[in-house]
Amino acid sequence: MSDLLARVRAGDRRALARLLTHVENRTPLGLAAEREFFRQTGRAHLVGITGPPGAGKSTLIAALAREARRLGLTIAVLAVDPTSPITGGAVMGDRIRMLDIASDDGVFVRSLTSRGRCGGLAPSLCAMAHLLDAFGFDLIVLETVGAGQDDVEIARLADTTVLVLVPGLGDHVQALKAGTLEIADIFVVNKADLPEAARVVGDLRSLQRLAGAASPHIPIHATVATTGDGVASLLQGILDHRTQLDATGQRLERLQRRLLSEVRFLALEALEERLDSALAALPENERAALVTRQVDPRTLAERLLKGLRLNLPLGSH
């Protein structure tokens, strides 16, 4: 089995694909690989692409991959595909297969579904991204649907977070203001071939004006992912952001924050599991005591916590 690790170390892409599955499923080999390859990470630039369902994220990433190859950069994509029939969204692999880069060794694509997964999505994404980083990809792109808090957290796992908006969201730009807009380093207004696109750009501009001079200026790129219009400039924007992070020392700051949130995800997940099994094992008389008001929830919660011994191993060493 460690043969697989050796093949990955030697740059074998098929071995990489297999090892990623081990990492995703958290098999003992996957966990061992996670620990082993971590030291070799830290070179890749992580780009999070998030936005509402059907915004064209996968199409855009495929177009970005093609541009990246033109510049000689290798690129790996981790897509959390909702495989939703409503949005007309196709899985990432299909988007890539439509392009001439499908058989290019410098492009690697993996889709994850949230269905039937073990553990949370974010820790798996982090672990898989680390492996791709260690393998040597220059860019690692994470596609997530920006709908809930989880996605905001996933977006925080990137060096550069790109928020994709599209015309036809109504007052969506306003609605997004609260959570998602703050995480963006770059705005993309995709489907710029549609008539309403200029309005979305305008909305974003006025939102920025309202936010005032104190808040960071966030570049806005208009793209047509289906034709590739504006995509070269978007890639340049992403690379410029990277340069800027390096120049201001923010890259290390973000890296530390990102790794700490990874630690938090893992610890929280283990805690939750532990708590859930303690709850499941709660004797019937204690459950009944709650209902009969002999014990209050707070006291019982304290008792549960006391009972938890927190030396939790997170997989094999």
Binding interface with Mg ion (CB under 5 A): 57-58, 89
Selected from 22, 130, 191, 242, the binder of ligand GTP by CB under 6 A is 191
Tell me the closest approach of the beta carbon of residue 191 to ligand GTP, in angstroms: 4
Question: What is the token pair recorded at 160?
Answer: 């550069």
219 interacts with, out of ligand GTP, Mg ion, none, CB within 5 to 8 A per kind: none
- How many residues are present in the chain? 317
Taking CB under 6 A as the rule, does residue 237 contact ligand GTP? no
**Does residue 56 interact with ligand GTP by CB under 6 A?**
yes
Asked if residue 250 binds ligand GTP (CB under 6 A), the reply is no
The piece of 22-30, 86-94, 108-116, 293-301 that touches ligand GTP (CB under 6 A) is 86-94
Structure tokens at 171: 């007052």
Residues 267-306 that bind ligand GTP (CB under 6 A): none
- Give a three-class secondary structure readout of 96-164: HHCCCCCCCCCEEEEEECCCCCCCCHHHHHHHHHHHHHHHCCCEEEEEEECCCHHHHHHHCCCCEEEEE
Residue 179 or 228: the one with the smaller Cβ distance to ligand GTP is: 228
Residues paired with 188 in a beta bridge: 164, 221
Give the whole-angstrom CA distance, residue 214 versus residue 138. Answer: 33
Q: Does 119 bind ligand GTP (CB under 6 A)?
A: no
The distance from CA 82 to its chain's CA centroid, rounded to whole angstroms, is 13
Residues that bind ligand GTP (CB under 6 A): 53-59, 81-82, 84, 87-90, 145, 190-191, 193-194, 224-226
